[in-house]
A and B are shown apart, each in its own frame.
Chain A
Amino acid sequence: MTSVSMRRVDDVPDKELLARHAEGDPHAFAELVNRHRDRMWAVALRTLGDPEEAADALQDACLSAFRAAGRFRGDAAVTTWLHRIVVNACLDRLRRKSVRPATPMGDDATFDAVAPKMPDPTDAHGVSLDVHSALSQLPFEQRAALILVDMMGYSVDDAAQVLEVPPGTIKSRCARGRARLAPLLVHHRNRRDPKNVGGMEGGGMP
């Protein structure tokens, strides 16, 4: 957007952008954030549940990353590093405000933010809301692990790097998180079975 001085910025690798930023290039960091913002936003929003909290956390995270860029050691992917900062900023917010663990559902802004309305006959909106409220019932560690592994598609090892715990810990957090989510999301299984979609039961039990 503001990257007037660089041509074809999108060709520049993340690490190069970060290095340019550390050398004082005023556009490099904004470009880096711009490049990854949707995924960073998704992590923050899923982790905190509340769009306003997530927005604040993400801004905190971006500024921390901006300041800490000089300390980035090239041993992890830049996205791993960025997501670690996002997750930590979310955790900080939770600790500082001791935010209610479950997001109070019911205001439209929250609905729209966590569950973008899509022209989708399978009711992606409804699924999103369920996912959102189910996730909010998990402890932070399990939620963060599942967000990274199941939602964002990180490998267990990469998620372990983001969260700075051993891979085995990620596995057990994911397993426990899935075990807790299973009864909450079980009614969405109906969608897999074509006979049940739009059937008399109207999409499953409560």
Chain B
Amino acid sequence: MSSTNLDQASTHLERRLAVMTLWGLLGSFGMAFLLSGFGTPDWGLGLLGYAFLITAFVAHVLVNHFFDSGFQAGEVALGLVMVGFLALVFVANVLFGGGSSPTKLGLGLAGFLIMGLAIVLYMIIRYGTRGTWNVVHSFWYRKAEY
């Protein structure tokens, strides 16, 4: 490997390390608080869990900015899979879990709302309002073409 390639590989590895470290810390504690919030159930613990996860997302954005990169395809895919899985678990619990308490339902819906807001806010900050519309619009039309 040439030295330029090695430097690029090192930088890429360092970025990946920063991302995995912050999600390893904030993500694990966020999920733990979230589980406690749903398990107890308790609004405070659940919202604390969401706060950790949002902080991890914001930190990830900052790392991207520092390393002058964006979200990698693998990271987006993993994020979508995780969110999809959690949503599935939540919906299954509501439908087949023998009655969900108002707190659990509220926490779950709050989670969807917070996640959606976070993504929209990120896109607006990154692309601007018109840019966000263009991205969504072009994605939608590309999908329709297929």
A and B physically associate: no
Could you tell me which A residues sit within 8 Å of B by CB distance? none
